[in-house]
């Protein structure tokens, strides 16, 4: 039996015992306090709050990249999506990372162009030349994407049984 199902059955048994006075000195509880979904929903909200607190500690560049990662994950969050496959396709994940990297690089280039317009020194950049890929930034995008996908997959698996 799966660990989560086992926990669910144990919780149901414990709540049933409490409802009939077996564990709480004969005191009965209202029916809504014996229903386990409410506590699971609250637990999920606590996970979300904790994750948001941890995201506040990210460096500035990681926060900017995370916005693009969350946007891509929002687009992929539907039943039958690549995100929820048992074995996601590595090539498709790399294409998603490439899209995110392109958006981040485009924003970075436009910021550099703005600074270059302020002080027009040096040779101009040739048009439509893609700068070489920054491996550190690429790796950060991959890690943030895979982490966000993992978080959403876990939430999907935990919550789809209840709602």
Tell me the pTM: 0.62
C-alpha 98/C-alpha 106 separation (Å) is 12
Q: Is 56 helix (H, G, I), strand (E, B) or coil?
A: coil
Cβ atoms within 10 A of the Cβ of 22, count? 11
C-alpha 105/C-alpha 141 separation (Å) is 12
> Residue 19: what pLDDT?
53
90 or 26: which leads in pLDDT = 90
C-alpha 147/C-alpha 51 separation (Å) is 11
Q: Does residue 28 surpass a pLDDT of 90?
A: no
C-alpha 123/C-alpha 25 separation (Å) is 83
Q: Following DSSP, what letter does each residue of 21-50 receive, concatenated?
A: TTTTTT----HHHH-THHHHHHHHHHHHHH
69, 144 contact by CB (below 8 A): yes
Tell me the pLDDT tens digit for each residue of 86-122: 898 999 999 999 999 999 988 776 655 555 555 555 5
> Residue 163: what pLDDT?
46
Q: Is 61 helix (H, G, I), strand (E, B) or coil?
A: helix
C-alpha 68/C-alpha 40 separation (Å) is 29
Q: Following DSSP, what letter does each residue of 128-148 receive, concatenated?
A: TPPPPP-HHHHHHHHHHHHHH
Domain spans of the chain, in order of start: 60-159
């Amino acid at each position: 039996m799966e660990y989560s199902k086992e926990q669910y059955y144990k919780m149901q048994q414990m709540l049933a015992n409490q409802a009939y006075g077996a564990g709480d000195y004969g005191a009965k509880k209202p029916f809504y306090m014996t229903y386990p979904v409410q506590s699971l929903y609250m637990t999920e909200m606590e996970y979300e709050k904790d994750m948001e607190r941890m995201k506040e500690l990210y460096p500035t560049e990681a926060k900017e990249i995370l916005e693009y990662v969350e946007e891509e994950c929002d687009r992929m969050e539907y039943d039958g999506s690549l995100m929820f496959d048992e074995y996601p396709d590595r090539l498709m994940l790399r294409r998603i990372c490439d899209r995110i990297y392109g958006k981040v690089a485009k924003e970075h280039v436009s910021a550099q162009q703005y600074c270059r317009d302020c002080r027009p020194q040096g040779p101009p950049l040739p048009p439509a030349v893609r700068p070489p890929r920054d491996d550190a930034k690429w790796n950060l995008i991959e890690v943030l994407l895979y982490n966000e996908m993992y978080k959403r997959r876990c939430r999907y698996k935990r919550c789809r049984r209840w709602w």
